[in-house]
Amino acid sequence: MRLLIDMNLTLRWVAALASAGHEVIHWSEIGSPAAPDSAVCEYARLHTYALLTNDLDIPRILIHTPAGKPSVILLRGEPLVPESRGAALIQALKERAAELDTGAVVQLHWPDRPRTAVLPRD
């Protein structure tokens, strides 16, 4: 899976997810730290990335857009670091791959099971 990690999450997610076979990039490597959420979403959509974030505004933006992409993985509950949450996130990505491929918001709030909402399409 292609994943774009939002500025609000540590760069350590890149190595953790790449080691699990995902193509991963952190927003700080490609965009301005001050970029608006809409710019991050648009980049992810145009370059076919799912967006990993803990920003509640991102799903709100996407619910009101007809594109149905990018998919979002919303992490909730501290600590949001790969050392504590990496295995659970990698498992959730496997379990929700079909939904993420078509356009969805997957919310992970540990220890709960992932919750998924399919995004509207054009």
Total of domains in the chain: 1
Order of strands across the sheet that contains 23-26: 23-26, 2-5, 50-53, 72-76, 104-109, 115-118
pLDDT > 90? residue 21: yes
Distance CA 47, CA 116 (A): 22
What is the model's pLDDT at position 67? 66
Instruction: Compute the distance between CA of residue 116 and CA of residue 74 in angstroms, rounded to an integer.
Output: 10
Task: Provide the 10 A C-beta neighbour count for residue 2.
Answer: 13
Q: Please give the pLDDT value at position 20.
A: 96
Q: Which residues contact 102 (CB under 8 A, 6 or more apart)?
A: 68, 71, 118
Over residues 25-59, the pLDDT tens digits come to 999 999 999 999 989 999 999 999 999 999 988 87
Contacts of 56 (CB under 8 A, 6+ apart): 74
pTM of the model: 0.88
Query: How confident is the model over 91-95, as a mean pLDDT?
Result: 92
Range of 91's domain?
2-118
**Domain containing 36 — which CATH number?**
3.40.50
